[in-house]
Structure formats: C-alpha cells, structure tokens
Chain A
C-alpha cells in the first residue's frame, strides 16, 4: 500500500481576533488514498470548510495552523509560499461552492481556462485555447465552442461549475478538494455534476475530498466519511457502516434529522379530529384556474412567463406541497396566492373571491386571512424591531381592535407556541439563531389565525438538525390550528414528510399532482421520475442501487444544465 495522497494529523486552526487567538478547529486528523472519495461532513460552524482551506493555505491572513498536513508524504505546513504555489492547481486542485462569484465576471470562460492551464505549463496561446476546448468537452459542457467566448454571468450555475471543474483538472491533479460544490445547484444538476466528478475520478485515479452538509450526497458518492462538529472530528467510518450503525450520538442525531425520501409515511390527509373547516365547502381555500403569470419585459429584456396555465385547488386543512427546481414558478405561485403578484390570465380565488377583480379594500380584507413564511431568516424580520413587536405586526397592519396590553400578552403567547420563551419578547433578531428566527417568522404567520399559510422554502436556509425541529413545529401547529398550507420547496423528502398532496412544477407548469404517496412513490410523469431519481437518498445501499439504475437510463439523454 503506497503512501496516502493526503494525510492530516492533529491539525488545529486558530483565528486572531480582537481578543487574541481563537481556535476554530482542533486536532483534526484524516486521510485519503489514491482513487478514494472521502466526505467531510458537518453542519455550519463545524469547521469543515476551514479544514479544507488549510490544506493549500487559502485561509485569511489572520489564521494560523498547527499540526501536520502531508501530501504524498511531503509536509505542507512549513512549506514556503512559493513552493506551495507550485502545488496549487497542479498536485492539488480545489473547487468551491458559489460558481457565480468564484469566477471573475470580467473575463471570458476561455480566458480563465487558459489562465489555469498556463499557470503550470508553457504552451502557445493557440495550444492553450485548444486545450481549453478539449477540457470543456471532457466536462460535458453543451456547445463548448460558443461557451468559450461567453462570460460567467451568461452561463447557468451547473455550467459554471463545469468550468471550474475543467480548470481544476487541467493539470491532472492527484487530489481534488471540492468545497460544497453542488450546494447551490438544483438537484438534477447536482446529480450530473456528481456523476461527472466520479467519472473523471475513474479515468484519472485522483482522490476527492468532498466537503458537504448533505447526507444524501455522502451516501451517494463517498467511500469513507468523517463527521465534524464544533471544530473536531467526532466519527469516521466506511460510508455503509456509518449509516448502518453510527457510533457517536451526534451522528445518530444527524442521520435521524435528515428527511428520508420513501421512509417517512405521511399521515392521512385530513386528521380525524381536525377543527371544523372554516370556509365554505364549495370553494377550496385557494384555487388557481388556468392561471398565467408573467413578468413584463423592460424595453430591453423580453417578457417571461413564469406560470403557464396552472390549475389546482387547496382544501381546508390540507397541506399541498409545491415542488420544483429553480425557475419552475413555485415561488411565483406562492406570492400570487396571497395577492403580492397579479395574474395575467386565468383566475386566482382566495376563499372564493377572485383576486384579479378585487379592489384594494377587498384585497386587504382577504389578506387578513392569509400569511406567509419566508425562506431567509436573516432578512424576513425587520432588524430594528424587537421580536415581540414583529410577531404582532400583522395584527396591527390588518387593523386590530386589541389594546396595547392585549397585544403584548398575545405576543408572549405566540412566542410560547413556537417554543420561544415569552420573556424574550424584547430581544432583537440578530440576537437569535437562524432556527429561532424562523420560528419567529412562523409565530408571526399564525398571529392572525390564518386560513391559508404560504410557506416558501421555510427550512432551506437552515442546518439539517434545526430543519427537522422547525418542520415538526409546523406540522404540529397545522394540526392544532387547522390552517391550509401551501408548502413550497425544492426538497422532495422535506415535502414528503409534511404534505398531504404534492404538485410537481416544471418551467411554469404542473406536470403532476396527486397524493404524496402516489406522486413520490409511483410517479407517472417523466420529469417527476427524473427529479426523484436525481435526489440522493441518505442510505448508501439504496443510493448505490439508484445510481446504477440512473446511469443505465442515462445512456439515452445527454445532460445539458
């Protein structure tokens, strides 16, 4: 057995702040062999990215590393910068999470590829350009000749990531460090990128160190796993073992919190003991009839049809999941449902009233019965207002008859309902964690005892363990209060655990709609099947089988995202 490609022993990274040196990671040890894919997994703040950056010393100036990092046996920690530079991009290559900002917006794809190519070898400009084209072919970029002359902002997220990968493999590195390479991508694109990485690995034998928070991705591609928490490695094992029998409690909790497509059985659509439906039975709470929503073009950009002839009906007390990738129109539907965006065709009925023909006063009256929970806990709450004020703001805005004292009491009650101590009413959003802020958002949404709640990706910005708690809270509140919920998400497993019925959206149209069980277990439409096949399941055995099946089916179509 030869020397491991990468061997990190007892690595600690500290950052210097105003109060001296603060440790960010401690005593991290890990190892990769040739041809292996190793995942470094953890939630935000676990130190996984910092560890990845320290290999090539891409940390900020106020950081210091102690310990040992060996690449093919050679110690990297005390290497002078000039020697380290030779290694960067050549022996060890790195790709990052946000391809939009990781590429310089003012240079063409070709220019940046050539720059990477020429950083470690001498070639004529013509030869470099040819090699750039070859690399694009290698990463399966569609229409590579035209893409060469494009700028990063003209490419999609997946295509930009392909460019980054092309740059990374240009000098045939032995080790590829991939820091959350697919987190910002749609699930189908993610699958393609992961496929690409594995294929390149098969051809070249390079080792891949994959940083991720997504257990599904880990189950999909990793041979071995290291779990990090609060700057330390808490467990490591072969992938199958880790999932089957985790040794450490934290790992177990992590695995439990991950929604698992196909495992959670949704409860029956309308619970037997639900409160009496609060709307007239002839109409649904929300109904879309052949609705069309367009974003008008400004005098340069053409108009864009975000929602194209969509129809569905939401019954009282029901949770309807809207699933789709970016650009599918699901967010647009959510906002249109509460009257924030007008429809260009068809009609939207809220509790029987047509939103299109409603005047300002009617709209406001209707809005008293609907609420919305947003995705980003950081910006959905006014930073200058205390959380006690924020939760009862909807009551004030919709014109309430409650006195100030009554409102204060109500604020306390609402906080308790989302399991936040009522005494915290005077605190401000920045004093709370992301998960807590999202609970405030929910508390605010239930303040007016809504008929309909639109939840637009309410947990997408949260860590997986926090996500589980928030979803559970949402489920519970819905059962007790009985509101209908339009639950928008790109994550199929999250939707499955919550929704009674599911609608699948693609490019502004509903391609399939039915009960969760039907749509997610036994889909009829091709797109739904593709979506399901691409979503990685956090179970290595199952996922390997799915991967094999998907690869077999893919011999027909060519990816192009």
Chain B
C-alpha cells in the first residue's frame, strides 16, 4: 500500500452553515482575531425549480498535491509533510508572502509578527489519528476526514460513491486533498443575496 494521504470531504448538501467548525477551529488553533483558517461562505441561491435555498460553502487550505505555495517558497518553509498535507515550518519562514500571492484559494494570511499562517488540517490532532477540530464538531456530519490512500477508510468509501467528488478550481490541476460533493451544482445556481463570510458581508448583493 502507498503512503498516507490525508484528505477531507465536504458534502455541501449537509452543510447547514452553523459555523461550529469555524468557531472550533479558532479556539483549537488560537487563530488571531480577523483571521480564519476555515470559514463558511453563505448565500441565497435560486434553485432550478425557482425556489430559494441557502448555500453554505466551507473553505480552507486545499492541501494541494502540486501546491503552488510550496513551489514558490524560497526557504522551503512551506513543505508537503509525509501525510500529504501542506505545512509551514515557522523557523524557516522569512515572511516574504510569495506563498500568499501564489495560493489561488487565498487561504494564507500574515500575522503582525511576519509569520504566515493557514489551516494545517489540525496536524497536531490528525498526526495522532484524531479528527481535525472542524470535522470533530460538524453538526450535520457534512465533513469527513481520513486517509485517501486507504480504500477501507470512511472518506475513501464516501468518495467512491461520489465518483471522487469535486474540487475548487479543477482546471488548475493542483489535485487538492479537500474534496466537495455538490460544489458544481451549487455554483451553477444564480446567487440571490450578498455572500457572507460567517455573518459578515464578503461581497454585497448587486441585485
């Protein structure tokens, strides 16, 4: 069997936008105020049948197999760990922000100290077999986590049913370890409200 490759699957049909994940992440990782390692984008959509629904799309580091952030990092501070996740070695980070510019998902942020941060897939938890904080408290069981290389893992079984799931910006060919179910179908629906990040306006509604 090949090595471990940790991944996350989010079934958007089951995400009720309660933001348990967001709050749990902030507390678990002491994420600074104003910054988020994971967040939910919530907005109204028009379904094909004309009725209105509320979409909730959780976002965070995609832990790409071909991670642009790792490629551009001049000091190898950003690296792919043995479990396939993308991590940052803070001792090597010089705060040049190349990685922030390179990440198409815009998940990285810089602290006042210069340190660059992002979701680690709760490396300290997942490295000992525990679920990341966000998955562990997911009320709708929308989030599933595990080893993508183990066909017997719960995530592999769910992905098999979902034909591999979908990824954000598939055309970039980055092979993210963050997979979705229902992403393309949701994104095809016309947006009918502002897009909120948590409860704050990220993009106002133009009508």
- A in complex with B: no
User: Which positions in A face B, CB cutoff 8 Å?
Assistant: none
User: Which positions in B face A, CB cutoff 8 Å?
Assistant: none
